[in-house]
């Protein structure tokens, strides 16, 4: 089982969308288990209504969700921890410093893991990795070799308290990233929005 843990602040919008959209983009029978949590989340049942509506427009399933706080145990058990912003990656590392090489932001990991073989000299091409833990190791090795990027290139802004169209744009941005991530997890193939829900169209 490959456990991918997404982390945001409240476990209300960003990490929820990432968890459920990744689940929608994985091939049937995948061994990947998407999960989510929040650095300031309070345990509660059910998904926030606006999040669920946007998620379902994009072909995700909002049923059975429960918000939960980020814990040391969750970080320790995850194959890969993906913060929706740098602060979330750093919070996970503070809880479990030994997990550093498994902790990234979502955008950072996708960028590093899908870069061409010349993306970082002296590191393996992720396309040649036989197991997902090898892909994670390649991305970790590239992190120190590809130079610095601005926070804007790594973070997905929090739509909390913003108009619905901002939440929808955030969801679309996350969907683009997790679709690329699903391609890595699926061995190169990701289910598209159309194949998941032919009736889903942006409002």
Helix (H) or strand (E) holding 5: strand 2-8
Domains defined for the chain, CATH in brackets: 2-196 (3.40.50.2300)
Residues in the chain: 203
Q: Is 83:89 a contact under the CB 8 Å cutoff? A: yes
* Model confidence at 194: pLDDT above 80: no
Instruction: Decide: helix, strand or coil at residue 132.
Output: helix
Q: Is 57:200 a contact under the CB 8 Å cutoff? A: yes
Place of tokens 């009736």: 199
CA gap 50, 169 in Å, rounded? 13
Q: For 50-107, how does the pLDDT look when each residue is reduced to its tens digit (9 = 90+)?
A: 999 999 999 999 999 999 999 999 999 999 999 999 999 999 999 999 999 999 999 9
Q: The whole model's pTM is what?
A: 0.88
Query: Which ranges in 9-158 belong to alpha helices (H)?
Result: 14-25, 49-57, 72-77, 86-95, 106-113, 132-143, 151-154
CA 97 from centroid of its chain's CA atoms? 20
Place of tokens 């829900």: 197
Q: Is 47:16 a contact under the CB 8 Å cutoff? A: yes
Residue 19: what pLDDT? 98
Q: What share of the chain is helix, strand, coil (3-state, %, to 5)?
A: 45, 15, 40
CA gap 4, 34 in Å, rounded? 5
Mean pLDDT for the stretch of residues 33-47: 97
Q: For 103-145, how does the pLDDT look when each residue is reduced to its tens digit (9 = 90+)?
A: 999 999 999 998 765 444 334 444 444 588 899 999 999 987 7
Residue 144: what pLDDT? 74
Average confidence score pLDDT of the chain: 88
């Amino acid at each position: 089982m490959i456990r991918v843990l997404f982390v945001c602040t409240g476990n209300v919008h960003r990490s929820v969308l990432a968890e459920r959209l990744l689940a929608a983009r994985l091939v049937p029978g995948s061994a990947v288990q998407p999960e989510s949590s929040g650095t300031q989340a309070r345990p509660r049942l059910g998904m926030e209504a606006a999040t669920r509506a946007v998620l379902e427009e994009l072909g995700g399933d909002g049923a059975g969700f429960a918000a939960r706080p980020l814990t040391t145990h969750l970080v320790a058990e995850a194959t890969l921890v993906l913060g929706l912003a740098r602060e979330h990656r750093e919070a996970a590392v503070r809880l479990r410093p030994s997990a550093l090489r498994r902790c990234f932001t979502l955008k950072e990991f996708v960028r590093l893991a899908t870069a061409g073989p010349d993306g970082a000299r002296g590191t393996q091409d992720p396309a040649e990795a036989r197991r997902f833990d090898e892909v994670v190791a390649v991305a970790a090795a590239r992190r120190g070799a590809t130079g610095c990027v601005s926070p804007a290139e790594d973070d997905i802004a929090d739509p909390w308290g913003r108009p619905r169209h901002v939440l929808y744009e955030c969801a679309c941005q996350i969907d683009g990233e997790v679709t690329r991530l699903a391609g890595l997890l699926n061995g190169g193939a990701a289910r598209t929005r159309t194949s998941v829900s032919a009736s889903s169209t942006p409002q």
